Amino acid sequence: MGSKKYDMVITGGRVIDSALGFGKDAHLFIKDQKIAAIEANSPAIQRVLKTFDDSQIVNAEGKLVVPGLIDVHVHLREPGNEGAETIESGCRAAAAGGFTAVCCMPNTHPRIDSQETVKFVQDRAKNKDARVYVAGAITKNLEGEELAEIGDLVKMGAVAITDDGYYVQNPAIMRRALEYAKMFDIPVMQHAEDSLLSKGGIMNESYQSTRLGIKGLPAVAEEIAVLRDIALCRVTGSRLHIQHISTKRAVEAVRQAKKEGINVTTEACPHHFVLTDDEIGKEFNTNLRVHPPIRGAEDRDAVIEGLVDGTIECIASDHAPHSTEDKDAEFDRAPAGMIGLETTLALVKTYLIDKAYLSWADAIRKMTINPASIFGFQGGTLEVGSVADITIIDPDKRWTVKADKFRSLSRNSPYIGYRLSGKAATTILDGRVVFSGK
């Protein structure tokens, strides 16, 4: 051992790897952009550490050292809406939030429904502060009418297909999409919101929507969409991934489908386990407008239960940047979506871990090895030989969300002013520090 053998060492942290099933105090050594060794403290290791230059040491005392976090649902807005976000700024936001890898959605302009657009995003994502995986479209122009050239998209490197933002309303097209995806062994990600039932809806259909006189988006639109796709998946044997699940009955449908052995996975977003639609009438903050909408307490609790019992494997942000000009409108005229890359980790800590719903190991699993395994990404583990994508977390750091601190180009967060706990201290991508909270 010795400093020549390694490029960097992360010392004194508590290393958590949900894939390998451990949490232990250890030093983590990096060489050639790979995890080279994980060693418990000892006099011999202390002697080795003395041979390192200060510049090679990242001190993680009092911190958690975990695999780089992975977010399978982000909107990077490039090409087409670079005022709201670029791939570069989105990756900077990811790194600041502790994410080393993101999967971007195809609802850009133009849509990511061709080899050229996949390639464009991949080229723009080179040498940025996070890895960018690309989800291609299910249908051309996300119009739900004609399948995109799925084989071409996969050949170019698309890791999944989705029409996110839109539900594939036509079941025959969805069935074909599932069959194609099966041939290429990729998941179909579904924005599960029946468009006929939810047409014109602005917020959750509830007591609150009635009180406020705002047109509702009914929970049954999600339930029907999820049940239909599970039925299709039962027939095709394909891999279905339900995006941003938000209702009690949808969670229950997925739970039952899993029991039956159907290959369905799902993700939950912080706003569906933190917020309820009671918030909307307070200030009509347009950053609370989102699809699927923030629901009532019963649905929020069911999402938490799904996270606790493993029905929901992934936590994803659905980072959806919109410019301040666009969001500065009446509630029903503002575009739906909120940014999330820089607040997800702290919301998980404050609302799931501190409330004892999840342990750190459970939470990290849903943000590392689970998404990595479902989507076939590298990383997600600190196993020796793995890529050196690492997040160092200050687990109890108290901080206030401030608009001017976001790395994202957009400011559309409903959490501005929230006091949260837990923050990424250092983010390492390919053995290179891409974010340091200092």
What amino acid positions are annotated as catalytic residues?
Answer: 318
Q: Which is nearer to ligand DOR, 202 or 364 (CB)?
A: 202
Q: Should residue 212 be labelled a site residue for ligand DOR when binding is judged by CB under 6 A?
A: no
Q: Which amino acid is at 121?
A: V
Among 17, 71, 164, 229, binds ligand DOR (CB under 6 A): 164
Do 312 and 266 form a contact (C-beta atoms < 8 A)? yes
Among 27, 63, 75, 128, binds ligand DOR (CB under 6 A): 75
Q: Which is nearer to ligand DOR, 195 or 378 (CB)?
A: 195
Q: How far is the CB of 337 from ligand DOR (least distance, A)?
A: 3
User: Site residues for ligand DOR, window 264-293 (CB under 6 A)?
Assistant: 290-291
Q: How far is the CB of 288 from ligand DOR (least distance, A)?
A: 10
Q: Should residue 191 be labelled a site residue for ligand DOR when binding is judged by CB under 6 A?
A: yes
Q: How far is the CB of 191 from ligand DOR (least distance, A)?
A: 5
Treating both helix axes as pointing N-terminal to C-terminal, what angle do 297-309 and 248-259 enclose, rounded to 10 degrees?
30
Q: Should residue 296 be labelled a site residue for ligand DOR when binding is judged by CB under 6 A?
A: no
- Give the residue nearest to ligand DOR (CB): 337
3-state secondary structure (DSSP) of residue 100: strand
Q: What are phi and psi of 155, to 5 degrees?
A: -60, -35
Q: How far is the CB of 344 from ligand DOR (least distance, A)?
A: 15
Among 144, 165, 379, 414, binds ligand DOR (CB under 6 A): 165
CA distances from 295 to 28, 266, 273, 334 (A): 42, 17, 9, 18
Q: Which is nearer to ligand DOR, 255 or 291 (CB)?
A: 291
User: Site residues for ligand DOR, window 83-142 (CB under 6 A)?
Assistant: 107
22 strand-pairing partners: 17
Segment (H or E) for 179? helix 171-184
3-state secondary structure (DSSP) of residue 102: strand
Interface characters, 302-321, with ligand DOR (x: CB under 6 A): ------------------x-
Q: How far is the CB of 386 from ligand DOR (least distance, A)?
A: 32
Q: Which amino acid is at 26?
A: A
Which parts of 127-198 are beta strand (E)?
A: 131-136, 160-162, 188-190
DSSP single-letter state for residue 140 = G
Q: Which is nearer to ligand DOR, 205 or 389 (CB)?
A: 205
CA distance 285 to 262: 39
CA distance 251 to 257: 10
435 strand-pairing partners: 427
Do 58 and 8 form a contact (C-beta atoms < 8 A)? yes
Interface characters, 29-68, with ligand DOR (x: CB under 6 A): ----------------------------------------
Interface characters, 324-343, with ligand DOR (x: CB under 6 A): -----------xxx------
DSSP single-letter state for residue 247 = -
Q: Which amino acid is at 342?
A: E
Closest by CA position to 133, among listed 111, 106, 101: 101
Q: Which is nearer to ligand DOR, 63 or 289 (CB)?
A: 289
The contact set with ligand DOR (CB under 6 A) reads 75, 107, 164-165, 191, 290-291, 320, 335-337
